[in-house]
Amino acid sequence: MISDSIRLVASSKAGSAGLIVLSVCVLMAIFAPIIAPYDPLQQHYDQSGKLKKLVSPSRSHLLGTTLLGRDILSQVIYGTRPALVIGLFTAFGVIFIGVNIGLIAGYYGGWIDNLLMRITDIFMGLPFIPFIIVVLCLTGKSIWTIILSMVIIMWRSTARVIRSQVLTLRERSFVDAARVSGAGHLRIIYCEIAPNIMPIALVHVAFSLAWAIITEASIGFLGFGDPTVLSWGSIIHQAFASDMSYKAWWWVIPPGAAIMVLVTAAYFVGRTYEEVINPRLRKW
């Protein structure tokens, strides 16, 4: 199913562009030590031994250097790693929880549905960024804590969408046929209904990926990211914390552009696949 989905998305220009950008970012993250011209934390000095701080883009440093003389291009390349790790793990965690809660609530209905939806309503009322900041302050700033805190709160909308679809699917004839043939509840849920809601789940994977990347960058920019991990948000945070963002534009624009490009690519893929499974969204 995943290969068929990729093929469908690739049939669109926007979807193809999104897949290409995502593929390039994945390769960049994997081969960062080979692609990056320098170590991202290495400080550079000129021939006279003077620190190359806030050097504008040049042949030796294509995107310039930071206040500590570190190569910005290398930092942006290495910043692809936490963005994708956090984005992918969060997206699949959100889908796992949201899809299962939506399936169970929609299929069983009754008090089970009411209980799960009231729990969902509680999480709907939690403020997004403040909740994550509180969790990080209580449990410590690490990349896995960021992922866990985002998964805890981001599944809510996915669960509601999946539940609404299951409420319709459970009344279909193929579910009645499976029930008459002696199939149990779990078999009906995961073998009969679940395959029919997977296209919607895959759309939410793309959108959750994009939202997780934006959130991670926001957390890093506010200074609540993992201090041991170099991310795009933390790069921008360092620029503003040094009060040099207005002067060294090359320190802020590259990581900001990287966030924009990767998030846009994820949205292109998600939007294209949404149009594939729902032709009414297409503009003829």
Alpha helices in the chain (DSSP H): 2-10, 13-30, 32-35, 72-108, 110-124, 128-139, 143-169, 173-180, 185-187, 194-221, 232-241, 249-277
Q: Does 155 fall in a domain? A: yes
Q: Does 50 fall in a domain? A: no
Classify the phi-psi angles of 230: left when phi > 0, otherwise alpha if psi is within -120 to 50, otherwise beta.
Answer: beta
- Domain of residue 175, residue span: 2-32+71-281
| pTM of the predicted model over 0.85 | yes
Q: Does 135 fall in a domain? A: yes
Would you give per-residue pLDDT tens digits along the chain (284 residues)?
Answer: 556 566 666 677 888 888 899 999 999 999 999 999 999 999 999 888 889 888 889 899 999 999 889 999 999 999 999 999 999 999 999 999 999 999 999 999 889 999 999 999 999 988 888 899 998 888 888 899 999 999 999 999 899 999 999 998 888 888 888 888 888 889 999 988 998 888 888 888 888 999 999 999 999 998 888 888 899 999 999 988 887 767 888 899 999 999 999 999 998 888 887 776 665 655 54
180 half-sphere exposure, CB direction, 13 A CA radius: 6
Q: Does 56 fall in a domain? A: no
Looking up residue 189, the CATH number of its domain turns out to be: 1.10.3720.10
Domain count, the chain: 1
What is the spatial distance between Cα 137 and Cα 120, in angstroms, rounded to a whole number? 24
